[in-house]
Amino acid sequence: MGDRPGFDVVRRFRRSRNAVLGGTIVSAVVLVALFARFLAPYSVEDTDLLAVWGPPSLAHPLGTDNLGRDTLSRLIVGAQVSLLIALSVLAITLTVGVTFGMLAGYRGGLVDAAVMRVVDVIFAFPELIFAVLLATVLGTGTRTVVAALAVVWWPGIARLTRSLVLSLRTALFIDAAVTSGTPRRTIMLRHLLPNVVAPIITRASIGVGFLVTAEATLSFLGIGVQEPTPSWGGMIRDGLSALRTEPQLALFASLALGITIIGFNLLGDGLRDLLDPRARDR
């Protein structure tokens, strides 16, 4: 919208300011997660039944939970747990999604049809419901969370890869490679992959915020990360059941999760704007 150039500057400034704010929050969470074991003042599994539901104090800045465990330490290690799950899911979905997306886009025909039907079936489930289905088979736990999120997440990556490959298939350098008798595998790995990988990785990292949310939701429902491993979702659930008398656990854990998610989304929006100038007004 070029009719009011003055406002355009205002908007860009606001956009970048939001992205900077998001980036700061995300970097802080990542640093905390990286050095969690050094930063956490207490062990996350040490219970102290004499200090159950302790209020915030000098020894325990954010108080203690129903088993007397230090809330601050559990939030710090919870950040690590959460990000590790998100990164594992990201690694799996990128491998699976890019492989099948490239096969579907480049080979076409039956391979394409088969991959896209599988994608359709997974998209037919409302969010989370596939995770519930998987939790019935695999049981609850971290393994289930990673598997469920990976299953739900790879179709999006595969679709994106497929569309990128389709747009490249008629490019001159691919024709040249085909004409000079390059094997199909080499074309895919040497010629196509380097050209699709950058946009895919950036788009996928924008989704890390959603992965963190999804993990927290599954853990909140009790089918995700299990005790004694700390997870923000599980802490919020423990805290909510004691909200009437001991609100601090639910409030601090919700605050940690909320701020982190907002950070990821602000950064994601900023990245999206940077990558896709047409969507800048959205």
Please report, as ranges, the residues that interact with other proteins according to CB under 8 A: 1, 3, 7, 10-11, 14, 18, 120-121, 124-129, 132-133, 135-137, 139-140, 209, 213, 216-217, 220-223, 233, 236-237, 239-240, 243-244, 247, 250-251, 253-255, 257-258, 261-262, 264-266, 269, 281-282
For the bound state, the minimum distance from the C-beta of residue 230 to other proteins, rounded and expressed in Å, comes to 16
| Closest listed residue to residue 59, CA positions, set 71, 67, 47 | 71
For the bound state, the minimum distance from the C-beta of residue 118 to other proteins, rounded and expressed in Å, comes to 9
Residue 276: CB atoms within 10 Å? 12
Of the pair 106, 252, the CB lying nearest other proteins is at 252
The answer to whether 218 and 145 have CB atoms below 8 angstroms apart is yes
Rounded to whole angstroms, how far apart are CA atoms 172 and 191? 11
For the bound state, the minimum distance from the C-beta of residue 243 to other proteins, rounded and expressed in Å, comes to 6
Bridge partners, 64 (sequence order): 70
Q: Please name the amino acid found at residue 125.
A: F
| Closest listed residue to residue 119, CA positions, set 86, 85, 161 | 161
Of the pair 9, 178, the CB lying nearest other proteins is at 9
Of the pair 56, 222, the CB lying nearest other proteins is at 222
Of the pair 40, 216, the CB lying nearest other proteins is at 216
Of the pair 187, 251, the CB lying nearest other proteins is at 251
The answer to whether 216 and 233 have CB atoms below 8 angstroms apart is yes
Token readout for 225 is 């990360």
- Phi and psi at 170, nearest 5°, equal -95, 5
For the bound state, the minimum distance from the C-beta of residue 262 to other proteins, rounded and expressed in Å, comes to 5
The answer to whether 249 and 239 have CB atoms below 8 angstroms apart is yes
- Phi and psi at 132, nearest 5°, equal -65, -40
For the bound state, the minimum distance from the C-beta of residue 79 to other proteins, rounded and expressed in Å, comes to 14
For the bound state, the minimum distance from the C-beta of residue 190 to other proteins, rounded and expressed in Å, comes to 36
Of the pair 48, 112, the CB lying nearest other proteins is at 112
Rounded to whole angstroms, how far apart are CA atoms 127 and 217? 11
